[in-house]
Amino acid sequence: MDLTQANLLEMRQIRKTFPGVTALDRVDFSCRQGEIHGLIGENGAGKSTLVKILAGAYHADGGEIVFDGENRRFTSPHDAQQAGIGIIYQEFTLLPDMSVADNIFLGREILLHGFVNHHHMRTEALKILDRLGGNIRAQQLAGQLTVAQQQRVEIAKALSLDARLIIMDEPSAALGGHELDMLFEIMRSLKSEGVTLIYISHRLSEIFEICDRVTVLKDGERVGVKFVAETDESELVRMMVGRDFEDVFPPLSEQANEHVVLKVGNLSCGEGVQDVTFDIRSGEILGIAGLAGSGQTELVRAIFGADSEVKGDIELNNEPVHISSPKRAIQAGITMAPEDRKTHGLLLDMSVGKNITLPIVKRFLRFLGLSSKKETETVERLIANLDIRITGHDQKVGQLSGGNQQKVVLAKCLGCEPKVLLLDDPTRGVDVGAKFEIYRLIRDLANNGAAILFISSELPEILGMSDRILVLSRGRLMGILDGKQATEERIMELATGTNSQVEAIGEAVHHG
């Protein structure tokens, strides 16, 4: 790379706060013309927020953006597009029932005498698609394409706008090995044409393979910028995590409890979970590991009765139970903290108190109706137990920080006094301090006799928290490891069926 090149993009002192959380705190970020610039950081480090500000989807609360020598303020995605900035999101934005050409020129249809000129649009679309390769026809429906092909159409859409800076937000998450190679080929050819690329990924191996430089974010601040040639993976991991993980986890349970609380036999649910058998004892934390989307969430949802078409046997305290709905699960003593607390866990516009008692409100029923005294007692006890920081019971959950929201989810689970607790990534998007509190809480619950299934997208968390670790791959059980002896390498071997240490380190610092 030509180091004398001027910066195409400079973002200075960018600030952004959401209610209850500072997403970006005076972040500087710059790209040189024609480079591929990696952007990495833990969950919630602020990567997506930063690029969304750049793409005009969010407005910064402060700071300035200089693009191509001009001071810019993008007030809408359209603004940013006009300036030559394209973004490819994790979730694609193609309309499945429209043709590839129509998708590429959506909102900017090429007209002839006031009518849409399909012929011209097809030829223009083909011209761009040819640059990207991959055998896509312009008149194909977008919904019929593979994920990799759809991604290529997204890139074509950006190029059709003469984008000079293209942001890719975790494009590799959904791609297989060969497709990833093709993507890198496209990125290199775009680079040779002078297009600048920002590449977000949680896989460090990819950063080293494709990027020139890399910026590391942590907790909304920029930790540093490195040339990939001058750094290594362990340095980047340290920058991202900021500490050694070993100290933060509470000790594993000492004596093995023999009482099996939950026994799952040959559990299957659609494509996601296939023939999984395991059991979990009282006081035990069983971690569930695997690559993203390997069936972890589907497994706990199946146990919780959240999805239909579940097959298999579930025994609770040696009694077979039939769990056909979450209602039955809660009655039987199983509760779940769902993966996405905002859309599945909490009613954001409702008060903290009402959220906590939602599953158990019937318990406060007296002769004359609900007893608000009993309810308040319960809410206060749980808020104190979990040290939830709020201004009052009536505060709306949506106003709390991520960590406190997650504690409300846990309080809601605990209110049900469960025998089995299913925790689906309970520290996702939670700041570091709250993470440590949540670790301690989970261990306390286990020590009090609960059986806990624990999913995390961060492998070090699984290793630090679990008494045993169950590894899934494509919905199948690959093995159960002892928590004291498991290593990242061993888990990744099982999760991928290969022996790739590089991938293991990449997965260790998961995406955000």
Partner 1 sequence: MKAEESSLRGDTFSILERGGIYIALVLVLVSAAILSPAFFKPSNLFNVLRGAAPLGIVAVGQTIVMLGGGIDLSLAGVMALTTVVVADITQGQNISLVPALALVFGIGIAVGFLNGLLVTKRRVPPFIATLGVAILLEGVRFVYTKAAPSGSIPPLVRFFANEAVGPVPTNLIIFFLVVAGFLFVTHKRPFGRHIYSTGANREVARLSGIDVDRVTLLTYVICSTLAVLGGLVLAGFIGYADNYLGRGYELDSIAAVVIGGTSFAGGSGGIGGTVVGVLLLTMLFNIVLLLSLPIEYQLVVKGAVIIAAVALYSFRTNRN
Is the Cβ–Cβ distance between 423 and 406 less than 8 Å? no
192 lies in the site for partner 1, by CB under 8 A: no
d(CA 73, CA 63): 10
Smallest distance, Å, CB 165 to partner 1?
A: 30
Of the candidate spans 281-289, 356-364, 385-393, 451-459, the one that interacts with partner 1 by CB under 8 A turns out to be 356-364
On the 0-12 / 13-18 / 19+ scale of CB atoms within 10 A, 247 is exposed
Extended beta strands in 272-387, E state:
273-281, 285-289, 310-316, 319-321, 334-337, 365-366, 369-370
327 lies in the site for partner 1, by CB under 8 A: yes
Sheet holding 196-200: strands in order across? 85-88, 165-169, 196-200, 36-41, 213-218, 221-227
Alpha helix positions (H), 133-213 = 147-160, 177-192, 204-210
240 lies in the site for partner 1, by CB under 8 A: no
Pick the closer one to partner 1 by CB: 56 or 305: 305
Of 222, 183, 196, the C-alpha closest to 68 is 196
Is the Cβ–Cβ distance between 438 and 249 less than 8 Å? no
Which x/- pattern, by CB under 8 A, does the window 74-113 give for partner 1? ----------------------------------------
Which residues within the stretch 335-354 sit at the binding site for partner 1 (CB under 8 A)?
336, 338, 343-347, 349-350, 354
361 lies in the site for partner 1, by CB under 8 A: yes
Distance between first and last Cα of the chain: 28
Smallest distance, Å, CB 359 to partner 1?
A: 5
Smallest distance, Å, CB 369 to partner 1?
A: 3
Which x/- pattern, by CB under 8 A, does the window 409-428 give for partner 1? ---x---x------------
Is the Cβ–Cβ distance between 440 and 447 less than 8 Å? no
Q: Which of 359, 393, 447, 476 binds partner 1 (CB under 8 A)?
A: 359
Pick the closer one to partner 1 by CB: 51 or 382: 382
Pick the closer one to partner 1 by CB: 418 or 506: 418
270 lies in the site for partner 1, by CB under 8 A: no
d(CA 251, CA 69): 54
d(CA 99, CA 125): 11
d(CA 211, CA 377): 56
Pick the closer one to partner 1 by CB: 177 or 369: 369
Pick the closer one to partner 1 by CB: 312 or 326: 326
d(CA 69, CA 345): 45
Tokens standing for 375?
């309810």
Pick the closer one to partner 1 by CB: 41 or 338: 338
Pick the closer one to partner 1 by CB: 423 or 465: 423
Pick the closer one to partner 1 by CB: 17 or 189: 17
Which x/- pattern, by CB under 8 A, does the window 274-313 give for partner 1? ------------------------------x-x-------
367 lies in the site for partner 1, by CB under 8 A: no
330 lies in the site for partner 1, by CB under 8 A: yes
d(CA 352, CA 396): 6
d(CA 229, CA 231): 6
Give how many residues touch partner 1 by CB under 8 A. Answer: 28
Residues of the shown chain interacting with partner 1 in the complex, contacts defined by CB under 8 A: 304, 306, 325-327, 329-331, 336, 338, 343-347, 349-350, 354, 358-359, 361-362, 365, 368-370, 412, 416
